[in-house]
Amino acid sequence: MSETNMGRVPVGNPIPLRFDPTTTQRLDELAAGIGPRRFGALVRVAARRHLSDPDRVPEALDQARRASADARRITWAERPLDLDPATSTRLNQLAHEFHTDRRAIVRVALHRFLTAAGRFRHPVLREDARTDLTCRTSVYLNRSTLVRLEKMISRNGDACTAAAIRVAVRRLLDDLGDLAADLATIGAVRDLTPETLGPRTNVHFDDDLRDQFDALAERLDSDRAELMRLAARQLLANPRNLEKAVTEEIYRGDANRDLLLARNTRRQTADQDTAGPLSRKAPSPQGNPFGKRHAFRFDEDTKRRLEELADEYGPRRMSALLRVGIRRLIENPATDEALAQARRVAAPPRTARVDVALDDELLAHLDALADRLGSNRQELVHLAATRILGFHHNIENRMLDEMFRAQNSRKHLLARHARREKIRRMDRGSGT
């Protein structure tokens, strides 16, 4: 750390990184839960954890690449192809010999044709004029391959696509070459849509961390951006002991460590003094909960369903509903299994904000559960919300207890709630 630039930790040039929007949002949420301006430190923690176990990176990188390719595959372009009986029979024999299908062999033939077409105009014209093509089949090609083929053969007139494919197949049958290798590297290749990445984010890396990351990327035939996206996803999948790790990342300079920690303590004390009167005030006679409000993110569908369920118990009951869900989650002995199952399910983007008032005691229990499970508040509150939506029968008494926790006016509040509920149901056309 620089003596004249306290707080800029660690020293180093900024590295531009790009993440997909969902990863960026989840990193922002984690960083916001730890403190202001913690995004860069969080990313560096992910990088250091990646470097701490480099032997596991190759397999994880290979799995991530396969998953990305599977998610971005473009549908094959199907084209009919008429062949003469002899060519059709020979293709069947090759497919059986190499344990593949005719379509993969045709894709290899087209790749070779586009790579070294040579003189093809007259062979294509002769092939287009043939009349002994009695065996029809379908071939599946990369769309980019089909576009390249049609562009190449249409320079001198109409695109005789099927004829050009037959010329390519005949050339392959005349010279098989290393067909087994080409089937593995070419026959199975699919077009992919580009990755959807968000805007660039600059993160400061010190020289040593940057050099280690670049060396690992070079060894794996990757780059720092791809490895950093993998490191971020792995951190989000297992966010254990993050607050401590991020704090250590922020205050790594021995020269000014004590000064920075003292300044951080003063800021936290000032924040507590500012927020103190709000958190210590007595509950209002309307039955509002203790504690200040905390922001959590849900997907739009989950927020809508929570609002519909909360409305059954009266207006502005969202916080009470979520607190009931959190308390039930804390009481559930099988929360770890529910969390593991939730992580296996692909969640939609969480863009809808919901403010929930939580008292200090409930927060302490929630944080303790998060530490035990290697999770965080956001993930557990989202899990509590999804579980309360699935299992919300017979929770009316718990909702009432949660809404009216002020003992001095509980009887009066319950009576007023009953009157309001009667009026609300009559307005909806129900006499019950």
Average pLDDT (176-187) is 85
pLDDT confidence bin for 281, thresholds 50/70/90: very low
Selection from 276, 213, 230 nearest residue 62 by Cα:
230
Whether residue 421 is predicted with pLDDT greater than 80 in this model: the reply is no
Q: Which residue has the tokens 């509002």?
A: 288
Burial 157-182 (b: 16+ CB within 10 A, else e): eebbbbbbbbbbbbbbeeeeeebeeb
> Does 251 or 191 have the greater pLDDT score?
191
> Does 277 or 308 have the greater pLDDT score?
308
Would you state the pLDDT for residue 230? 92
pTM comes to: 0.49
Would you state the pLDDT for residue 280? 37
Nearby residues of 165 by Cβ (< 8 Å), 6 or more positions away: 79, 81, 106, 109, 110, 139, 149
Selection from 296, 281, 305, 271 nearest residue 366 by Cα:
296
Whether residue 233 is predicted with pLDDT greater than 50 in this model: the reply is yes
Selection from 114, 111, 136 nearest residue 187 by Cα:
111
Q: In Å, what is the CA distance from 164 to each residue of 63, 109, 130, 173?
A: 37, 11, 13, 14
pLDDT confidence bin for 228, thresholds 50/70/90: very high
Would you state the pLDDT for residue 7? 42
Burial 348-382 (b: 16+ CB within 10 A, else e): eebebebebbbeeebeeebeebbeebebbbbbbbb
Q: What percent of the chain has pLDDT over 70?
A: 78
Q: What is the pLDDT of residues 43-54, one digit of tens each?
A: 989 999 888 888
Selection from 296, 303, 314, 331 nearest residue 389 by Cα:
303
Q: What is the pLDDT of residues 95-152, one digit of tens each?
A: 888 888 888 889 888 888 888 877 878 888 888 888 888 888 888 888 888 888 888 8
Q: What is the pLDDT of residues 7-31, one digit of tens each?
A: 444 457 788 888 988 888 888 888 8
> Does 286 or 261 have the greater pLDDT score?
261
By the 8 A CB rule, do 312 and 428 touch?
A: no
Classify 176 in phi/psi space as left (phi over 0), alpha (psi -120 to 50) or beta. Answer: alpha
Would you state the pLDDT for residue 286? 41
